[in-house]
């Protein structure tokens, strides 16, 4: 195993291949040393059956290291985070594959303030793990174990963060994708006063109806249903409920850049913040609308840990990732599909406009994206080869190159850009392009695909 555990968000891999019971127990011991003997940690999981294998092993390591465990069972990830302060816990560990394919499992580590470990904390955790600087405590010092029920806490906390008068009477179609938010997401939105129609609303770890990663390509049924029943909004979440991808009243499904731009407008106009954090792969549309309202956008690396760290660093009130994660500093430092849906309904009520009307008022940009299969072990080499190629690019004049962790965003003089970034959760390399001209964005994407495919082929052969 290489001396690196964490990806973009948490630790992920195949059950009984990378993520074994022995590995998970060692993570539990490491976490006990990291959080400190006597700490209290909430532990939960998504509905994938192999997540329970990981959870049980983690718990054994935590208890053996002297940490008290509050076990919340199968529950959406944001529900656990809302419960940390209420249960006076020191953090949380959640076993979830989130948006990844059914066979993947992951472990996410959270602090008392509900954010994930930042990069320095991840390095400390990795150092404890690989140097085995943890302790198995004597029998009379092992941690206590207790089951807890957190759904009511979750519901109460989320509902307290919105003005329900703006939501009452709205119609919403929800698609939890047979994930861990099945039933829960529908319940919260109904309790807020909206009428709800739900599809794919039974937990099923096989994810038989669609990929657990919500994206416009696999949400066409959601869009058709929204338009067919004249709903105000449609929302789809991922496997554990931190992502929200929206369908407008016209049935069109949008990436998180569009809804993120709306939330940026809302944050500046209605929530008293002018500082917005966006990940490097987010459309320029967010920066354009924020600037028009006197706000400012700050870029960060991809993933919730980077978003939360940057928000705390600059005192931002809102942050987002184009994959459908929206973070508010007055809530939790993580995405929550339920809160995002209610705040979108609240925003539509404040504006007294439909989703599609607001979209038409936004600047027109064309964002393209693709992924290319890339073995994890050559990702760093691929990134180095791309960097070598940057100096020889003859596409158009380069305005700026922004370097992120193993990735590059090349910004051109005409405000178009191309981003090369290795996935932190899957064996893939991601390419995003954007331009005010659709043909130009498509040509940039083809160029990026050709470059990365050629580099990967050369490295493999």
Q: Which residue has the higher pLDDT, 95 or 377?
A: 95
> Looking at the predicted structure, is the pLDDT value of residue 49 above 90?
yes
Give me the active site residues, please: 98
pLDDT digits (tens, 9 = 90+) for 302-326: 889 999 999 999 999 999 999 999 9
> Looking at the predicted structure, is the pLDDT value of residue 120 above 60?
yes
Phi-psi region of 197 (alpha: psi -120 to 50; beta: other; left: phi over 0): beta
* Same-fold call for 11-151 versus 366-460: no
Q: What is the pLDDT of residue 313?
A: 97
Compute the mean pLDDT over every residue in the chain, rounded to the nearest whole number.
95
Nearest-10 crossing angle of helices 438-460, 379-390 = 120
Q: Which residues pair with 73 in a beta bridge?
A: 44
Q: Which of the four pLDDT bands, split at 50, 70 and 90, describes residue 253?
A: very high
| Mean pLDDT of all residues in 239-244 | 97
> Looking at the predicted structure, is the pLDDT value of residue 2 above 60?
no
Nearest-10 crossing angle of helices 256-270, 337-351 = 60
CB-count burial class (<10 Å; 0-12, 13-18, 19+) for 62: buried
pLDDT digits (tens, 9 = 90+) for 272-296: 999 999 999 899 899 999 999 999 9
Rounded to whole angstroms, what are the CA distances from 89 to 13, 49, 81? 27, 26, 10
Nearest alpha-carbon partner for 213 in 425, 31, 418, 456:
425
Domain boundaries, the chain: 11-151, 161-361, 366-460
| Mean pLDDT of all residues in 132-143 | 97
| Mean pLDDT of all residues in 383-397 | 82
| Mean pLDDT of all residues in 193-220 | 96
- pTM comes to 0.91
> Looking at the predicted structure, is the pLDDT value of residue 364 above 60?
yes
Name the CATH architecture for the domain at 161-361.
Answer: 3-Layer(aba) Sandwich (3.40)
According to CATH, what is the number of the domain 366-460? 3.30.310.50
> Looking at the predicted structure, is the pLDDT value of residue 393 above 90?
no
pLDDT digits (tens, 9 = 90+) for 17-35: 999 999 999 999 999 999 9
What's the CATH superfamily of 11-151? Alpha-D-Glucose-1,6-Bisphosphate, subunit A, domain 3 (3.40.120.10)
> Looking at the predicted structure, is the pLDDT value of residue 406 above 70?
no
Q: What is the pLDDT of residue 3?
A: 63
Q: What whole-number distance in Å separates Cα of residue 337 and Cα of residue 242?
A: 5
Q: What is the pLDDT of residue 1?
A: 44
């Amino acid at each position: 195993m290489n001396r690196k555990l964490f990806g973009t968000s948490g630790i992920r891999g195949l059950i009984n291949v990378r993520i074994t019971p022995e590995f998970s127990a060692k993570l539990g011991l490491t976490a006990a040393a990291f959080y400190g003997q006597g700490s209290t940690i909430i532990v939960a999981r998504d509905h994938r059956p192999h997540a329970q294998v990981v959870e049980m092993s983690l718990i054994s390591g935590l208890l053996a290291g002297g940490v008290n465990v509050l076990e919340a069972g199968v529950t959406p990830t944001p529900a656990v985070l809302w419960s940390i302060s209420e249960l006076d816990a020191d953090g949380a560990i959640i076993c979830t594959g989130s948006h990844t394919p059914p066979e993947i499992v992951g472990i996410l580590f959270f602090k008392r303030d509900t954010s994930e470990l930042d990069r320095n904390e991840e390095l400390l955790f990795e150092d404890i793990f690989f140097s085995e600087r943890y302790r198995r405590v004597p029998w009379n010092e092992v941690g206590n174990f207790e089951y807890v029920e957190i759904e009511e806490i979750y519901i109460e906390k989320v509902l307290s963060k919105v003005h329900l008068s703006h939501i009452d009477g709205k119609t919403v179609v929800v698609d939890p994708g047979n994930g861990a938010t099945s039933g829960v997401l529908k319940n919260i939105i109904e309790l807020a006063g909206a009428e709800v129609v739900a599809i794919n609303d039974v937990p099923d770890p096989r994810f038989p109806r669609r990929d657990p990663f919500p994206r416009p390509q696999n949400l066409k049924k959601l869009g058709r249903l929204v338009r067919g029943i004249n709903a105000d909004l449609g929302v789809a979440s991922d496997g554990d409920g931190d992502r929200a991808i929206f369908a407008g009243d016209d049935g069109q499904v949008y990436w998180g850049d569009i809804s993120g731009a709306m939330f940026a407008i809302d944050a500046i106009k209605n929530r008293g913040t002018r500082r917005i954090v966006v990940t490097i792969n987010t459309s320029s549309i967010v920066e354009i609308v924020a600037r028009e309202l006197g706000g400012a956008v700050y870029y960060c690396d991809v993933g919730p840990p980077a978003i939360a760290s940057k928000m705390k660093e600059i005192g931002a009130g809102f942050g987002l990732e184009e994959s459908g994660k929206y973070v508010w500093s007055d809530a939790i430092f993580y995405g929550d599909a339920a809160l995002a849906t209610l705040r979108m309904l609240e925003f539509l009520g404040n504006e007294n406009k439909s989703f599609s009307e607001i979209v038409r008022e936004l600047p027109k940009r064309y964002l393209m994206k693709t992924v290319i299969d890339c073995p994890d072990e050559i990702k760093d080499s691929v990134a180095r080869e791309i960097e070598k190629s940057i100096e020889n690019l003859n596409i158009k004049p380069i305005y700026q190159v922004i370097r992120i962790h193993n990735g590059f965003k090349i910004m051109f003089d005409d405000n178009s850009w191309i981003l090369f970034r290795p996935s932190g959760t899957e064996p893939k390399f991601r390419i995003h392009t954007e331009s005010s001209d659709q043909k130009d964005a498509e040509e940039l994407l083809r160029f990026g695909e050709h470059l990365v495919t050629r580099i990967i082929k050369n490295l493999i052969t």
